[in-house]
Amino acid sequence: MAAALGTSPTIVEYFEGEDFYSCGYCKNESGSRSNGMWAHSMTVQDYQALIDRGWRRSGKYVYKPVMNQTCCPQYTIRCRPLHFQPSKSHKKVLKKMFKFLSKGEFSRGNNEEEPMDSQMDDAAVDDFVLKSKLDLQSDHRPLGEDYNEIIECEVKEKEESLEAKETKELNQSYDEKEKLGSGEPSSSVKVVPSAPKPGKGADLSKPPCRKAKDIRKERKRQKLILKSQTDKLEGFQIQHEPQPFPSEKPKLNQPKSIEDFIFDTLPEDAAHQLEFTRFLCSSPLEAESPPNGPDCGYGSFHQQYWLDGKIIAVGVIDILPYCVSSVYLYYDPDYSFLSLGVYSALREIAFTRQLHEKTSQLSYYYMGFYIHSCPKMRYKGQYRPSDLLCPETYVWVPIEQCLPALENSKYCRFNQDTKAVDEERVNELDRLRVLYKRTIMPYNIYKKRQKGPSDEAIVQQYADLVGQTCSERMLLFRS
């Protein structure tokens, strides 16, 4: 996609890899290393190409970790919103927000503050820890297995174990009462059924109580019978009474979409009102409004969260030709009990789906970096389906295929094709564009005018990192 007419070209100053510095993730004083450049201006097309090569911006500074050298490799991660289904922990956050807005009810509990770039809460972390433990216990589980089903099985087993424990304790309590009443060991007590006294004991005129486990099994059996009958009925209707709009027909057991939770209608007497506003914000990205783009255009935006007329959070996003990229979120800590990091991420996923309806190629949600070596930063892997970017060939690989390798090594090449190479690697440096003394020129002309020692090694490093396409579109400022 060519840059829109009237927008300024991308102009950057490149800084070669600096010395190692302190890591904000593992707290290593000299373990982190990255390359960076200052963006005086940048088109959304160029930034899209850069983040697809592992770059990320913080304000006007754009950086790329030196993946095979840094202590905590940071892999670019993207979610596929068109196929996204909220997890149990995500639904918990959405339900919590709806309950707070509609009834004003909330439980602060022991919520910890969420990192600005994290979009994480305790529920998401606990969910991931449980899944990680299951991964370790399974020993080479096939990829793509339904982890949620496994978790549900474990929860059911715990419930059944708890019921058995309660039944055992109840029986022990009953035996102890018999001992106290008779003065003899419980084994010698002969229990003779008798009519219960008024207000005490079981009502023999009613059927005996059933265990909760048996009740659940019966309910499940009834649901299966009902579903089977309904399926037969629907099959009959389809054969004899074709529906004009089959896509609008409700489906049984259809999981709720993220929109069902977020855009659920609040009651008229709702305790709180949550509103959203969106504004362009200061950024190196040049705002564009092409005719085939989204109504809001491309660029950087502030998404403001207003609760009863008070601003409680602001999310910064970049809307690019093929994705919505989450930059960061900051919020009022008094409202951390609402898990605003997770809630904002889910809203941004839903927003991406809305933009896709108008602009079909815009179909991804970029969440920044996934850092497997830092357990607290693994939560982004819970927004599935998602992909990680191969740091050597820059192709996207489903995260399920990447996790086993990351368990063995912090730095990994995800592309399994050993012959695959970086298709954007620069082979002709002379075609790279330079801005020198306010004049745009190809690198081969700049070399002839350059005074002093050659900077070809630095320029080659820059070109390899940004790729052939960006090196020919962007302007590398040289003084």
Q: Are residues 268 and 353 located together in one domain of the fold?
A: yes
| 157 is a domain residue | no
Asked if residue 417 is part of any domain, the answer here is yes
Indicate if the pLDDT at residue 133 is higher than 70: no
Same domain, 71 and 103: no
Q: What percent of the chain has pLDDT above 70?
A: 70
Return d(Cα 455, Cα 131) in angstroms, integer.
50
**What per-residue confidence (pLDDT) applies to 220?**
72
pLDDT at 189: 38
Based on the domain organization, do 278 and 351 belong to the same domain? yes
CA distance 363 to 455: 40
Most confident of 7-16, 173-182, 195-204: 7-16
Are 352 and 435 in the same domain?
A: no
Residue 341 has pLDDT above 50, yes or no: yes
CB 239 within 8 A of CB 267: no
Tell me what the mean pLDDT of segment 156-183 comes to.
Answer: 45
Domain count, the chain: 2
Decide: 305 and 64 in contact? Cβ < 8 Å.
no
For residue 28, is it within any domain? yes
Let me know if residue 281 belongs to a domain.
Answer: yes
Look up the domain containing 412 and give its range: 11-79+382-478
- Please indicate, yes or no, if residue 251 is contained in any of the structural domains: no
Same domain, 262 and 355: yes
The answer to whether residue 288 scores a pLDDT higher than 70 is yes
Q: Quick one: pLDDT at residue 9?
A: 95
Please state, as a whole number, how many other Cβ atoms lie within 10 Å of the Cβ of residue 246.
Answer: 8
pLDDT of residue 242: 36
Task: Among 337, 366, 395, give the residue marking a domain's end.
Answer: 366
| pLDDT digits 0-9 by tens, 354-376 | 999 999 999 999 999 999 999 99
- Residue 172 inside a domain? The answer is no
Read off the pLDDT of each residue in 265-287 and give the average, rounded to a whole number.
91
Q: What is the mean pLDDT of residues 448-460?
A: 91
Among 366, 394, 410, give the residue marking a domain's end.
366
What pLDDT sits at residue 154? Answer: 40
Q: What is the pTM of this model?
A: 0.71
Considering only 63-77, 94-108, 299-313, which range has the smallest mean pLDDT? 94-108
107 and 65 in a common domain = no
Between 223 and 121, the higher pLDDT residue: 223
In this structure, the answer to whether residues 262 and 336 fall within a common structural domain is yes
Lowest mean pLDDT among 68-72, 139-143, 313-317: 139-143
187 part of a folded domain: no
Using the 3D structure, point to which of 306, 334, 366 is the last residue of a domain: 366
